[in-house]
Amino acid sequence: MKLLARYNRVNLIAAVTVLFVTGIIYYLAISYILNDQVDKDILIEEQEVFSYVKQNNALPPVVEYKDQQIQFIKAHSPVKRTFINTDYYNAKGHEHESGRGLITSVVINGQIWQISIVESKVETEDLIQIIFFITIGVILFLLFVLFIVNRFILNRMWQPFYDILNQLRGFTLTDGKDIMHTSSSIDEFVELDNAVINMASRVKTDYKDLKTFTENASHELLTPIAVINSKLDSLIQTGEFNTEQSRLLNDVYDAVSRLTRLNQSLLLLVKIENHLVKDDQPVELKQLIEAKISQFRELFINKELDLKHDIVAREINVSPYLIDILLNNLIGNAIRHSDFNGGVNIILTQQELTVQNTGDNRPLPKGEIFKRFNKSANSEGSGLGLTISKQICESYKFELLYDYHEPYHCFTVKF
Amino acid sequence: MKILIVEDEKGLRESIEEYFSGDGNVCEVAADYNSAVAKVSLYRYDCVLLDITLPDGDGFDVLKYLKENKTPDGVLIISAKNSLDDKVMGLDMGADDYLVKPFHLSELKARVMAIVRRKSFSGNNLLVFNEIVIDLLAKEVKVSNVVLKLTRKEYSLLLYFIANKGKVVSKNAIAEHLWGDGVDLADNFDFIYSHIKNLRKKLEEIGSKDYIKAAYGMGYKFTDQ
């Protein structure tokens, strides 16, 4: 629920409740005052009757005036003096109205007379009705005003917040864009804006430091690796080795080779993320893929893979260096992970490039395979190949997708 | 041939020197910018192996000095920076080749040999190893005057072996040379065995001696001894 809606709801409930309670209080107060007024009128009438009886020792004539009726009835027992709510018959309008009455009594010549004085309350009720309608009117007006305020004023007031939110949503560490200043006259939003801008720049600095560190560390590693590599090359020139020694040396060679690749991959990732490879030019993919196929020919033959390819002419604007790495990774992976005597398909259309290979009969976990250092248990690759491929694709706004269509593992680049 | 190795890292410098020495080669070394400039201003080399990051200067300045003085020395840049910009800059400035650290000594040797051949074989583009004669321009191999048909990779492999003759070349080095270092195939070197077997068979069938010797399961050695 939006803050605005929640705030409105609370506001509205509070306002309606308060108005409602006010209405009730009004009603009670006014009807009390008016009843009191009517009662006073009736008491005055009673007083008049009593004084008339005192002077004349007889009942006054029954006169009706000012919505007041008076009745005298012979009573046989003493009458208790009480105020009552009763009906009032309006003879003029021929209708019953609610009324207020007083039952009292007077004794004339030993005869008890019950006196009932009834006064119409129709004006009081009219007043209460008016109060009710005014309350309803005020509630409706309040709703209308709140609606207008929300619609046109609050939305505008919250605009800076939504601007900041949108910028946060579009914020990525890797692109060079900073969060722009959002102007607002509201203190909270100014504070939020400042905090967000500070946070973004701090995060970017930290990220940059980290990347610089990775790059420096990888660079610094290159020299010792170069020394190890060259020393190994020198060592194997020195003479005869027995089987055990050869095996050990081979293992060291392989480890150094993997270390080299790993290091190069890390450096490459940093470079792609920093957009440092900027030699984009039109590249004819068809030629490139055909060259790759011939480059890898021996590998296909060695594993007795059945290579099928269906390639159309397609020119894209990329760095030849990066697209070469991308193709190496995709085709290299297909060769490495396909089973002996398996099949590899390379399909290039105008919209996409797909590399498929048979192999393990289970689909790979889609969410995991593009993560750094994620690799299958029996793979001796660096675990960075697909990460690099994904990065390359992202830097050109291509999509790299994985899917498993029995029996093929398919990697698709959508241009 | 005469080679100058400009490299500040002692371990690497010594390995290169050791690998290139012998077989009639003369190696000189320079550990920093000043001694490198001093050497190239006094002597001529067939090839200068130039590290870019030196403690007291920039390797590019050594290259600039060489080019400004119009020396015929071949220059191979060895750099820890695998940066396209650096590579393009080095080659634009007149370097003959650019090799990124870490590299195999056999790869370095093959590259240096290629530079030296290009520089000095003007007019004579034949590479001879006993009965094997390679026409480098036509990319044609003859054994005892009979043309030997080789695939592009077999041809490249033969040149690589001859450049490193008498040395044990590791399988990793061969794989990287033939399939490029972008290919992560460290877990599968079997294909090299079958590849070399093919080359051997072709050479033998045409009457060449078997010069390719397997070396303790680590690599191969091309030798006539």
Q: What is the pLDDT along chain B (225 residues), one digit of tens a residue?
A: 899 999 998 999 999 999 998 778 899 999 999 999 999 999 999 999 999 888 888 889 999 999 998 888 899 999 877 677 788 888 999 899 999 888 899 999 999 988 888 887 565 778 888 888 888 888 888 888 888 888 888 899 999 999 898 888 988 888 888 887 655 554 556 678 888 888 889 888 888 888 888 887 788 989 887
The answer to whether position A171 is within a domain reads no
A336: pLDDT strictly greater than 80: yes
DSSP states of A208-231: HHHHHHHHHHHHHHHHHHHHHHHH
Closest partner residue to A229 among B84, B104, B183, by Cβ?
A: B104
Pair A314, A266 in one domain: no
Pick from A353, A356, A307: nearest CA to A326: A353
* Residue A159, C-beta contacts closer than 8 angstroms, at least 6 positions apart: none
Pick from A303, A282, A279, A284: nearest CA to A348: A284
Residue A237 is predicted with a pLDDT of: 87
Pair A353, A244 in one domain: no
Task: Answer for the pair B3, B109: CB distance below 8 angstroms, yes or no.
Answer: no
DSSP 3-state of A386: helix
DSSP 3-state of A306: strand
The answer to whether position A151 is within a domain reads no
Within an 8 Å CB–CB cutoff, is residue B191 touching chain A? yes
Please give the Cα distance from B198 to B221 (Å, whole number): 16
Each residue's pLDDT tens digit, A120-168: 887 777 877 887 888 888 888 888 888 888 778 877 888 888 898 998 8
More confident residue, A380 or A285: A285
The answer to whether the CB atoms of B179 and A299 lie below 8 A apart is yes
- Chain B 49-68, CB below 8 Å of chain A: which residues? none
> Residue A314: left if φ>0, alpha if ψ -120 to 50, beta else—which one?
beta
- Chain A 334-393, CB below 8 Å of chain B: which residues? 335-336, 379-382, 385
The answer to whether position A150 is within a domain reads no
The answer to whether position A198 is within a domain reads yes
The answer to whether the CB atoms of B183 and A328 lie below 8 A apart is yes
Residue A377 is predicted with a pLDDT of: 62
Pairing of strands A399-405, B74-79: unpaired
Pair A306, A404 in one domain: yes
The H or E element that residue B188 is part of is none
Pair A331, A348 in one domain: yes
Q: Which amino acid is at A341?
A: N
Pair A268, A293 in one domain: no
Pick from B155, B147, B166: nearest CA to B109: B166
A232: pLDDT strictly greater than 80: yes
Pair A30, A129 in one domain: yes
Within an 8 Å CB–CB cutoff, is residue B216 touching chain A? yes
The answer to whether position A240 is within a domain reads yes
Residue B187 is predicted with a pLDDT of: 54
Cβ contacts below 8 Å, chain A against chain B, sum to 133
Show the domain range for A242.
188-273
Domain limit, last residue, from A273, A304, A321: A273
Closest partner residue to A223 among B101, B184, B216, by Cβ?
A: B101
Within an 8 Å CB–CB cutoff, is residue A231 touching chain B? yes
DSSP 3-state of A89: strand
Across-strand partners of A85?
A: A100
Q: Closest residue of B to A267, CA-based?
A: B82
Pair A351, A301 in one domain: yes
Pair A384, A322 in one domain: yes
**Total residues found in chain B within this entry:** 225
The alpha helices in B98-212, defined as continuous H runs, are: 105-120, 152-163, 171-179, 190-205
Domains and CATH numbers, chain B: 2-120 (3.40.50.2300), 126-222 (1.10.10.10)
Structure-token pair, residue A110: 């030993």
* Residue A103, C-beta contacts closer than 8 angstroms, at least 6 positions apart: A79, A80, A81, A82, A84, A114, A115, A116
Pair A313, A258 in one domain: no
pLDDT category at A194 given cuts 50, 70, 90 is very high
- Chain A 68-97, CB below 8 Å of chain B: which residues? none
Checking ipTM against 0.95, whether it exceeds it is: no
Pair A262, A381 in one domain: no
Across-strand partners of A259?
A: none
Q: Which amino acid is at B156?
A: S
Average pLDDT over residues A2-15: 80
Give the count of beta carbons closer than 10 Å to the beta carbon of residue A331: 24
Pair A210, A309 in one domain: no
Domain limit, last residue, from A248, A273, A298: A273
Please give the Cα distance from A259 to A387 (Å, whole number): 17
- Chain B 128-157, CB below 8 Å of chain A: which residues? 153
Within an 8 Å CB–CB cutoff, is residue A326 touching chain B? no
The answer to whether position A396 is within a domain reads yes
Task: Answer for the pair B219, B173: CB distance below 8 angstroms, yes or no.
Answer: yes
Domain limit, last residue, from A273, A302, A329: A273
A267: pLDDT strictly greater than 80: yes
The answer to whether position A177 is within a domain reads no
A394: CATH: 3.30.565.10
The answer to whether position A218 is within a domain reads yes
Pair A206, A232 in one domain: yes
Within an 8 Å CB–CB cutoff, is residue B172 touching chain A? yes
First to last CA, chain B: 22
pLDDT category at A379 given cuts 50, 70, 90 is low
Q: Closest residue of B to A261, CA-based?
A: B184
**Residue of B216, B220, B223 best to disrupt the A interface, most CBs of A under 10 A:** B216
Number of domains into which chain A is organized: 3
The answer to whether the CB atoms of A258 and B186 lie below 8 A apart is yes
